[in-house]
Structure 1
Amino acid sequence: MNPSTMSGNRLAGIIGTGPWPSPAYDSLHAAISRVIADGRLPVGTRLPSERELATAIGLSRTTTTRTYGLLREQGFLLTRRGSGSIVRLPNVPGGRIDHLLTPAGADESEIDLTCTAQVASPWLLGAYDRALSQLPAYLPGTGYYPSGLPVLREAIAERFTRRGAPTDPDQILITSGAFGAVAIAVRALLQGSRAHPPDRSSSRRILIESPTYPNAIATLEGAGASLVSYPLEIGEDGHYWDLAAMEQALHRSRIRATYLIPDFHNPTGALLPESARGELAELLQRHSVTPIIDESIVELGLEDAPTPTPLAKFAPNSITAGSTSKIFWGGLRVGWMRLPRHLIDSMAATRLSLDLGAPVLEQLVAAELMRDHDAILPDYLDKLRTGRDILVAQVRTHLPSWDLSVPAGGMALWVRLPEERSGALAIAAREQGLALVAGPNFAPSGGLDGWIRLPYTAAHEQLSQLGPRLAAAWEDALSMEGRIPAGRARIVA
């Protein structure tokens, strides 16, 4: 794939236009390398010419030439005749970061912050009891329900309708978790089914936010997608979607689909404003892009506000993935897709090439939990809200140099470190009885070693102990010069 070229004005919008403390080439180098490490300047991007950048930021061409030379020396740029200057990351021992999160084998003394997940809802056993009483009615059949049990599809469709996106049960396809839904969607869009093969000229490029959920990166790449990063912008109130920048990315690359988490985004916690949802839908429709929307944590708003309106209300061609994992229990492994009618047949056919349906008992359990949804959720949200506030206080008290925005929902803090040592921090944390996931795991195109995700789903007693342990780990990470190269994390499994 040919790299996309960033204009001088766009790069100036990301790094600013000064003033540039003397020596200016050093200040400019620091600004560019920082946004590469942050993931806001994706790996593989072709930078503007030295002359174009000089004009955009008000410096001399001599300064930009010297800056590009320094970036090349440090491994941030690769320049070849006829190809321009392409963004890359310095080589690091240990190779490429593994984006797939794996379960931690933590002992009782270790605090596991590798995953945003809750223990089973207290309502779960009662739901299993009621589901078991219904199971005999299904035993005379084959047990295969590739589209899902009607009772569960009806419950999910009714919730979409109540939230503002009228939905019929036949638009719902039950899957094995939310990422089962994403895998089906991507495979159907990129590879097609025997009944509906893709157009030979169709693109395999999928636009994906940076940062994003690590398993999304693994799922999309595993389906053969070519990922195009769209870096979320950073403002005073945290991360946000710059739709003008997204349109530029869509102009530069022929995008087939986009994977987005607009509701309490994982890992940043950002929420796409209601006022921007119609604008986003119109933008994607104008570029003939199919949105794949991950609503796994849409229910986890921690402020007094209604559940966000489904993007499906504004984008009729969108595919929405959801799951019971974040609101009830991950062990159920029940997810769903809400589909536009013209995609139902192709998605169902693709689903049959992967598996024959989710387990009947777990679907019955999920239907029972959905029936009690409004009674179950408030207690869990109270627990999350308290956990968030405990964790915020711990970080601000013990690590005041760390920069965080308090999210309005979701399950984790996305914290900016004063130095790019997320990988070193994850390694040092083990000695303090902490299991962390370094920032580069959330980067589709590299970078983000200056960030760390801290879930607040752990027990409140554990969260109350985090501050001193994190502070000690950070002190050790700062002393790792020479063992962990600056600017890129190294993960040791």
Structure 2
Amino acid sequence: MTSRLVEQLGAKNVAGCTAALLAGQIRALILDGRLTVGERLPSERALALELRRSRSTMTRMYNLLEHDGYVARLHGGSTRVALPHAGHLPRDSADDSAIDFSIASMDSTPGLYDATVRSLPRLAALRSTSGYSLRGLPELRDAVAERFTQRGVATVADEIIITSGAMSALNLILATIGRRGERAVVEQPTFPHALDALQRNGYRPMPTPVAVGGWDVRHLTDLMLSSRPHVAYLIPDFHNPTGATMTDAERTRVATTARNSNTHLIIDETTTELDIDRGWSPRPMAAFSPEVITIGSMSKIAWGGLRLGWIRAGRSLVARLLAARPSFELGTALLEQCIAVELLEEMPALTAHVRSRLHAGRAAVADGLEMIGGLQMPHTPGGLSAWIDLGAPNSTRLSLAARDRQLVAPPGPRFSTGGVLERYIRIPITHPQQRTADAMKRLRLAWDDVRDGASTRTVQSAHSAVI
């Protein structure tokens, strides 16, 4: 049976790697959360057999990790994941000059301050309450329902629950309907924190491929019909990280197949409003099946600090969700809800701001890639990021080299199951234009390091890391 470490590394990705390169790959897994502190790693002998390498190579690799503080070893006992003490942390871990491309989020909309001021009378009228709401303010649920209706699926407030962000919504859904040990269809690549949530709730991920050009819908539907997974988590609008969008015809086919296979469709719409120049607007997935569960959020269109999301579902599931919610969260703060009511009344202004910012960010990434040479900007009509094909399995090496240049850029495998997608890296288009330009200059230097072989020296450094 393959160990979780080898699943995350991807046996093909580490074929022929030196002990130092293997140690660098494992440091990357630890620092971006794919391996957890305290997790037991395979013995030297077992790992050597899995990777078909010498035991001495495994011993040197674990010695390097132990020296840097990334594993704790007991003679004759186990090897477990650890984090280094402050003296061993990467030299730029707290460096304000570092640029973090692991976060694909924009700063606040210009209208946030005015919306906050306008929300204060509404908030003042609620001072005698607890300050949070299990279901959500009626006027906010009405506003969210109206937005769904405008987009093509009739919705009423009783089908909406307001949550403390999209991840809170996903965790609530999984806590309510989850079944440990069941299968879950996930896109490959996908949003890594959603993948973490599914695995934390005991699901076994079953990947289906997505590229810049879209989904292999035949693979997706065949997978659902043959395996009958309990849930499928999909991002059909401006997919994170590829930017692809499902057509209405594809949505019809996927929704129909989900009904036939008794699969719960969990649809993430947090990126739905991030349109630059797609030129067409599909109907929400919920328009194609009443059983679809939809997650939305204000964080991508207003501000990441506005921790407010929602769930759209049938009334019977809404009742189950509300019954389960108090076991881990008592409700959503009223201040954020009051602000969101004001913001949703200004959707044209919000979407115009988003379009302008993303357009500038996309142009800055395209200009940076042109300077690098050998890398091309894929078709990116909207969304959070550009999904860059490196042409060779160098993603983790590039990520480590970028860290040495004070640029945090997670490698492609962070967005996958099984340690694959080493040919790809995600570049956000959400950062301010000048910051993106600076980051792309650092990426160019890192790319030169990889091509010149300097990334090997970076991996060998006791201070190199990636998150």
Per-residue deviation, 1:75: 6.0
Q: What is the match of residue 346 of structure 1?
A: 320
Q: What is the match of residue 425 of structure 2?
A: 452
Per-residue deviation, 1:268: 0.7
What is the number of residues matched between the two proteins?
394
Question: Which structure: greater helix fraction?
Answer: 2
Q: What is the match of residue 124 of structure 1?
A: 112
Per-residue deviation, 1:106: 6.1
Between 302-311 and 170-179, the greater mean CA deviation after superposition: 302-311
The code of the aligned residue for 1:297 comes to T
Between 205-214 and 217-226, the greater mean CA deviation after superposition: 217-226
Q: Quick check: 1:259–1:291 contact (8 Å CA) kept in 2?
A: yes
Quote the Cα distance in structure 1 between the aligned partners of 2:466 and 2:355: 34
Per-residue deviation, 1:253: 2.5
Quote the Cα distance in structure 2 between the aligned partners of 1:317 and 1:130: 37
User: What CA deviation, in whole Å up to 9, does each residue of 1:221-263 have, x standing for no partner?
Assistant: 222222222222x4xxx34211211133224424101000011
Q: What is the match of residue 210 of structure 1?
A: 188
The code of the aligned residue for 1:127 comes to A
**Residues 481/302 of structure 1: CA separation in 2 closer, same or farther (3 Å cut):** closer
Quote the Cα distance in structure 2 between the aligned partners of 1:426 and 1:255: 34
Q: What is the match of residue 413 of structure 2?
A: 440
The code of the aligned residue for 1:205 comes to R
The code of the aligned residue for 1:432 comes to R
Specify the SS of the correspondent of 2:133: coil
Q: Quick check: 1:264–1:409 contact (8 Å CA) kept in 2?
A: yes
- Structure 1: stretches of 5+ with no match in the other structure: 3-31, 37-72, 78-90, 99-103, 192-201
Per-residue deviation, 1:159: 0.3
Per-residue deviation, 1:382: 1.1
Quote the Cα distance in structure 1 between the aligned partners of 2:118 and 2:205: 44
Specify the SS of the correspondent of 1:452: strand
Between 319-328 and 295-304, the greater mean CA deviation after superposition: 295-304
Quote the Cα distance in structure 2 between the aligned partners of 1:358 and 1:286: 35
Per-residue deviation, 1:105: 6.2
Per-residue deviation, 1:362: 0.8
**Residues 480/177 of structure 1: CA separation in 2 closer, same or farther (3 Å cut):** same
Specify the SS of the correspondent of 1:119: coil
Quote the Cα distance in structure 1 between the aligned partners of 2:237 and 2:201: 24
Correspondence 1:308-457 to 2 at 5 A: 308-395=282-369, 397-457=370-430
Q: What is the match of residue 114 of structure 1?
A: 102
**Residues 284/302 of structure 1: CA separation in 2 closer, same or farther (3 Å cut):** same
**Residues 425/462 of structure 1: CA separation in 2 closer, same or farther (3 Å cut):** same
Q: What is the match of residue 470 of structure 1?
A: 443
The code of the aligned residue for 1:391 comes to V
Quote the Cα distance in structure 2 between the aligned partners of 1:453 and 1:224: 27
Q: What is the match of residue 199 of structure 2?
A: 221
Q: What is the match of residue 184 of structure 1?
A: 172
Per-residue deviation, 1:430: 2.5
Quote the Cα distance in structure 2 between the aligned partners of 1:481 and 1:330: 33
Quote the Cα distance in structure 2 between the aligned partners of 1:394 and 1:379: 23
User: What CA deviation, in whole Å up to 9, does each residue of 1:20-52 have, x standing for no partner?
Assistant: xxxxxxxxxxxx959x9xxxxxxxxxxxxxxxx
Per-residue deviation, 1:325: 0.3
Correspondence 1:103-252 to 2 at 5 A: 107-191=95-179, 204-232=182-210, 234=211, 238-252=212-226
**Residues 369/203 of structure 1: CA separation in 2 closer, same or farther (3 Å cut):** same
Per-residue deviation, 1:111: 2.5
Mapped pair 1:271 → 2:248: no
Specify the SS of the correspondent of 1:379: helix
User: What CA deviation, in whole Å up to 9, does each residue of 1:54-76 have, x standing for no partner?
Assistant: xxxxxxxxxxxxxxxxxxx9968
Specify the SS of the correspondent of 1:454: strand
Per-residue deviation, 1:410: 0.3
Mapped pair 1:260 → 2:260: no
**Residues 76/451 of structure 1: CA separation in 2 closer, same or farther (3 Å cut):** farther
Per-residue deviation, 1:271: 0.8
Per-residue deviation, 1:328: 0.2
Correspondence 1:11-160 to 2 at 5 A: 107-160=95-148
Q: Quick check: 1:262–1:270 contact (8 Å CA) kept in 2?
A: yes
TM-score normalised by L of structure 2:
0.77
Quote the Cα distance in structure 2 between the aligned partners of 1:326 and 1:439: 22
Q: Quick check: 1:117–1:457 contact (8 Å CA) kept in 2?
A: yes
Specify the SS of the correspondent of 1:332: coil
Quote the Cα distance in structure 1 between the aligned partners of 2:293 and 2:441: 44
User: What CA deviation, in whole Å up to 9, does each residue of 1:132-168 have, x standing for no partner?
Assistant: 1222211223334200011110000000001011001
Quote the Cα distance in structure 1 between the aligned partners of 2:351 and 2:187: 28
For the aligned residue pairs, the C-alpha RMSD in angstroms reads 3.1
Specify the SS of the correspondent of 2:305: helix
User: What CA deviation, in whole Å up to 9, does each residue of 1:299-323 have, x standing for no partner?
Assistant: 0111153443110000210100000
Q: What is the match of residue 26 of structure 1?
A: none
Between 326-335 and 216-225, the greater mean CA deviation after superposition: 216-225
TM-score normalised by L of structure 1:
0.73
Specify the SS of the correspondent of 2:419: coil
Per-residue deviation, 1:282: 0.7
Mapped pair 1:461 → 2:434: yes
Between 207-216 and 337-346, the greater mean CA deviation after superposition: 337-346
Specify the SS of the correspondent of 2:332: coil
Q: Quick check: 1:438–1:491 contact (8 Å CA) kept in 2?
A: no
Q: Quick check: 1:173–1:336 contact (8 Å CA) kept in 2?
A: yes
The code of the aligned residue for 2:401 comes to A
Percent of aligned positions with the same letter in both sequences? 34
Q: Quick check: 1:298–1:308 contact (8 Å CA) kept in 2?
A: no
Between 104-113 and 137-146, the greater mean CA deviation after superposition: 104-113
Quote the Cα distance in structure 1 between the aligned partners of 2:81 and 2:365: 27
Q: What is the match of residue 24 of structure 1?
A: none
Between 432-441 and 202-211, the greater mean CA deviation after superposition: 202-211
